[in-house]
Chain A
Amino acid sequence: MDADDVRRAIWRMAHEIVERNHGLEGVVVVGLQTGGVLMAEAFAEALQEIDGTEVPVGTLDVALYRDDIGIRPVLPEAVTDIPVDLDGATVVLVDDVLFTGRTIRAALDALTSYGRVRAVQLAVMVDRGHRELPIRPDFVGKNLPTRRDEMVNVSPTGVDLGELIKEGR
């Protein structure tokens, strides 16, 4: 996927989000630290253009909810910022790559600390398979079959969204 592919995928998923929710009322976009944050902002921009509605954007660091604390090093340093009350909101969780599903499990746990959401939907740029938990995405940029030992590289300096996702080896 090059820069244009990524842009088109964001645009398509944004349309699907509007369609699924019959508009954007009560929708909050939450990007997972760190790979999902730029994508969440891109979604908010696209949604604004499509529907004319400004959706609240938040960020979430799930380090404190991981199930591997104490097994591998975990340190929260990225910002968690949920700007609105999530009681009754429809949260669109955004991440760059969906792999085992464990990060999403942690994110679902974390969201409960902010109130009782009406629904959670999941948008990812790349679904690379190998799920270890019963979790599936609602909106997918690209299904990318991988081997378990492959890496899907994410550049943290993705000012240009096209450079955000690079396909693995």
Chain B
Amino acid sequence: MNHLLSIGDLTPADIDQLMRLSDTFAEVSRRAIPKVPALRGKNVVWLFYEDSTRTRLSFEQAAKRLSADTMTFSVGSSSVKKGESLRDTVLTIEAMGVDAVVVRHGSAGVPWQVARWVEDRVSVINAGDGWHEHPTQALLDCYTIREARGSLDGLRVGIVGDVKHSRVARSDVLAFTALGAEVTLVAPPTLLPPNLDGWPVRVSHDLDAVLGDLDVVYLLRMQRERMTEHLVPSLREYSERFGLDIRRAERLAADALIMHPGPMNRGVEISAEVADLPRSVIVDQVRNGVAVRMAVLFLLLGSGVERVLGPEVAADPTRLLSLEPEEVLR
């Protein structure tokens, strides 16, 4: 594994081991000087074809805490405006000598295409592609649940809202179920993917019916533009049936968690007071995102597997995590 493209590429053991590596970096973040020299001299470039504040800042913070250098390729002010193709852009960036490209793009599959162009010379990290996947978000969600509840095994997670257009939901379903959680998608039929064959999930159209059974309520952002596509009658009606207000929050189990990938529409999918409840771990998700992204960057760029342990382990550096310290630090 030279790239992180999809949660589907990771085994449950890989995810679990990434969680443990994240513990190390969470500790680094708590130090008086939260910076280590582990990725000195490595260069990471942000290739963001879609707006993003928190994901980019979180990756930036992660890279800087590892002492990597970062560059931003901002589409708005670049050669893309002059008509440069994605392929030429990628090859240009590669030629400058970067070690990793973090890609966000509005079209599904772009990170895979980028990975094919750069092969193994550059690590590609998917920071969100269309409605498809957002693997680091899923990893930080797993880490946050694990931090609060110890493990995901056997937990019942409800993912509520616009699943159809959500890359977060797709990656989360893969990651949560891989770690043993039961996932229920809660949404009106218009906001579910037309075909759920093969998804390891249950489906409900009634939040009130499932609410009391959930260990985690994961609310998705309700995008205002869905209104113009006539998928829901009105934001107010959506909020009435699927929004988590204080009345519904009081019916949750005592230790149930409330999560949201941000940015929140307070008053739509989550009410203002619910967002600020102690059981709402939305701020923890953001904090943990930095540690989890440090773990991903370090695993891809810093663990140094390829030059020493050969291509078999380099093809799957997570294998390294299962080695004894004596084997690693020979």
Where the two chains meet, the residues of A that have a C-beta atom closer than 8 Å to any C-beta of B are: 33-34, 61, 63-65, 68-82, 85, 109-110, 112-115, 156
Contact = CB atoms under 8 A, between A and B. Distances in A.
Given A64-B28, A71-B304, A113 B36 contact: yes
B326 interface: yes
A77 B19 CA distance: 11
A20 B20 CA distance: 39
B307 interface: yes
> Which are the 10 A-B pairs with shortest beta-carbon distances?
A64-B36, A64-B38, A113-B33, A70-B304, A76-B24, A113-B31, A72-B308, A73-B304, A73-B328, A73-B305
Interface residues of B, number: 33
Contact of B320 (A69, A73, A112, A114): A73
Interface in B274-319: 298, 302-305, 307-309, 313
Interface string B22-39: 011001100111111111
B321 interface: yes
A159 to B, nearest CB: 17
A81 B32 CA distance: 13
A155 to B, nearest CB: 10
Contacts of A34: 325
B316 to A, nearest CB: 13
A33 B325 CA distance: 10
B33 A80 contact: no
Interface string B127-149: 00000000000000000000000
A69 B27 contact: no
B21 interface: yes
Nearest to B295: A76
A69 B325 CA distance: 15
B82 interface: no
Given A71-B308, A73-B304, A73-B320, 16 more contacts: A33-B325, A65-B38, A68-B304, A70-B302, A70-B307, A73-B305, A73-B309, A74-B328, A74-B329, A75-B321, A77-B24, A77-B321, A109-B37, A113-B28, A114-B31, A115-B32
Interface of A is mostly: loop
Contacts of B66: 64
Contacts of A109: 37
A122 to B, nearest CB: 19
17 contacts: A64-B24, A65-B38, A70-B307, A71-B308, A72-B307, A73-B305, A73-B328, A74-B329, A75-B320, A75-B328, A77-B20, A77-B21, A80-B24, A113-B28, A113-B34, A114-B32, A156-B326
Nearest to B301: A70
A64 B37 contact: yes
